[in-house]
Amino acid sequence: MASGRFEYSRWDGTQVGFDLDADALLEEMTDDLLYHGDVNAALRRMMQQGFRDRQGRDVAGTREMLERLRERRRERLDRYDPDGVFADVAERLEEILDAERAGMERRLDEAREAGDKRREEILEDLARERRERLDSLPPDLAGRVGDLQSYDWMDDDARRAFEELTEELRRQLLDTMFSQLQQGLSQMSPEELARTKDMLAELNEMLEQRERGEDPDFDGFMERYGDMFPGNPQTLDELLEQMAASMARMQQMLNAMSPEQRAQLQELANALLDDMDLSWQVDRLGRNLREAFPRMGWDRGMPFSGDEPMPLDAMGGLLDELADLDALENLLRDATNPGPLAEVDLDKVRDLLGDDAARSLEQLAELARELEAAGLIEQRDGRMELTPRGVRRIGQRALGDLYTRLLKDRAGGHRIERAGAGHERADEHKQYEFGDPFHLDVGRTLRNAVARRGAGTPVTMTPEDFEIERTEQVTRSATVLMLDVSLSMEMRGRFLAAKKVAMALHSLITSQFPRDYLGMVSFGRVAREVRPERLPEATWDYEWGTNMHHAMMLARRMLARETGRKQIIMITDGEPTAHVTDSGDAFFDYPPDPLTIELTLREVQRCTRDGIRINTFMLEDNPYLRDFVARMMRMNRGRAFYTTPETLGDYVLEDFLEERRHRRRAG
């Protein structure tokens, strides 16, 4: 491949920058990603719905483009009447016949004026014979054209006009049947036409070999005739499908006509395609393709509903346009990710839908590539997944959106009054006292000694000279977030808000309190540990059940491995309705079975015994949930909050930070 040559110029403010921004794209799809938990599905829906680029321009989605393609097809079908396909041809033929009759009279007049009686008599006999022949022409267009091909014209201009008409009709018919060939059949030289007949014969032979289960020599065929197929098919099936689609569309056009018009067109084709070998190969190919691709819709008719007669010379172009519309519609409808959109012929899109649609498709094709290049998503086992950077970015966005006031303070800036044993330097100093950690400030210590004893060496120091740096009291928290993912959370519109809180809490702890531990457990009919990097993919259960019993068991085991203050933050909208049996199966009942309540409270007791505080954030205020939480709080001495999806984040993060401040002050 030849290397490209690029030129750069200084930015002067007039150039248009890159239209796509990876961070903006990720932000656009965040809610959808968090709600459904699938990067691929979020990309697909974004591709379908469209978005705005960095220039503030609308990028049309595939759904909008599909509707515009269908509207374009409706416009074409609502315009034409295929039964009028011969109206223009019949009118032109009548004009030619009128010219022939006028030419006869002109030649008779010339003979009379010349006074040549013998010539006049011969011309009158010829004219009488020609008039009788013209008067006896069949009423149908095909019959008239067929008879006139053997007619001996008296007027040279009329003869030339008829030859031009038949040549034009022959070209239109052949090009319509084989629009996918590199060059129209009717424009070929005799040598090229002979080569084309050989190609059709070999193609028919390969079709019949394929039907018999044999292996046709497709590569050899393409070596001999590949230049005739602009679509550059890579397999025999691909080539045959292209040709079958072309001939099937022609048949659907014929099916839309009345039986009389269809018969006329067939007879006209027979009259014009006077090359018997070519006609036979074309008929043979049509039969073979119909047998090979029976589901191409050969028996369907195009639903034309217009009243404008369709000119025969427009038929080929219309079929090509409908084919392009169908191909683009199929590609857009079947595309499940942005990758296949890169295969679209943007020039055809411009012709069909305009420049804006072509620009939109070009940008849609770049969606995944932009996100991947920015390190936000990556391919794993054929699927797109978030990278750790992508997870952090979503968490930061959730934290910023929901709790912007938390970001006004500098990271980790929740300082306390008392200094003690820790790791964080407090930028303060004090005289050393017995029992203090020996974080000696060498500079201040030497300065104290010099100030007391004066300059000179050696420097003599006493314990009173020692000065140390203060450190902040560091407390460590170990938290497990229990997130209710039961079906009711989704049905009542609470799941997305709860998941955003989980992402924000994860971002807060990892960025401001990196020594803290955060574990996550999702619980519906059963409970599952969720690794923080997989949190964006967590989604709701499609079964009923709120298994707090199982969730607390997992959370307690996770916290048993940690040190520091231990707590469970539980976000839920219902009382416990499921538990895990001794055999490991999930049991569900509603209203809650007394055994479920008993086992759940027993697990609360175990958490209390292990020093684990349980704080509950309830998104539903009903007497059953209120009663259960009250019993749980009496046992555990945790706290309960009744909140809504809109205020959930305020409660959770403010409570987490306030508890942390309290622990540090108490430390």
Q: Where are the beta strands (DSSP E) in 344-397?
A: 377-380, 383-386
Token pair 């067939």 in the structure block, residue: 266
DSSP code of residue 406: G
6 pLDDT tier (thresholds 50, 70, 90)? very low
Lowest-confidence region among 148-152, 269-273, 438-442, 558-562: 269-273
**pLDDT on residue 656:** 67
DSSP 46-108: HHHHEEE-TTS-EEE-HHHHHHHHHHHHHHHHTTEEGGGTTHHHHHHHHHHHHHHHHHHHHHH
185 vs 523, residue with greater confidence = 523
Q: Give yes or no for a cis peptide into 303 (omega within 30° of 0).
A: no
Other C-beta atoms within 10 Å of 52: how many? 12
User: Exposed (0-12), middle (13-18) or buried (19+): which is 632, by Cβ within 10 Å?
Assistant: buried
* Torsion angles phi and psi, residue 602, rounded to 5: -65, -35
For the CA atoms of the chain, what is the radius of gyration? 42
- Transcribe 302-323 into DSSP letters: ------EEPPHHHHHHHHHHHH
What's the mean per-residue pLDDT of the chain? 77
Q: How far apart are CA 244 and CA 203, in angstroms?
A: 12
CA–CA distance, 651 with 667 (Å, rounded to integer): 24
> Given pLDDT bands bounded at 50, 70 and 90, which one contains residue 237?
confident
> Mean per-residue pLDDT for 6-12?
43
Asked whether the predicted pLDDT for residue 3 surpasses 50, the reply is no
Q: Give the whole-angstrom CA distance, residue 184 versus residue 620.
A: 72
Give the percent of the chain with pLDDT over 90: 9
Statement: residue 435 has pLDDT above 60: no
Tokens 């069909």 correspond to: 352
In contact, 516 and 497? CB cutoff 8 Å = no
pLDDT tens digit sequence for 316-334: 677 778 878 888 888 888 8
Which domains are present in the chain? 22-78+328-385 (no CATH), 80-305 (no CATH), 419-472 (no CATH), 477-666 (3.40.50.410)
- 337-379 tens-digit pLDDT: 777 777 788 888 888 888 888 888 888 877 777 777 777 777 7
Higher pLDDT, 654 or 122: 122
The reply to whether omega before 458 is within 30° of 0 (cis) is yes
Query: Is 473 a residue whose pLDDT tops 60?
Result: no
Residue-level pLDDT at 20: 59
d(CA 452, CA 254): 112
- Please give the DSSP secondary-structure letter assigned to residue 213: T
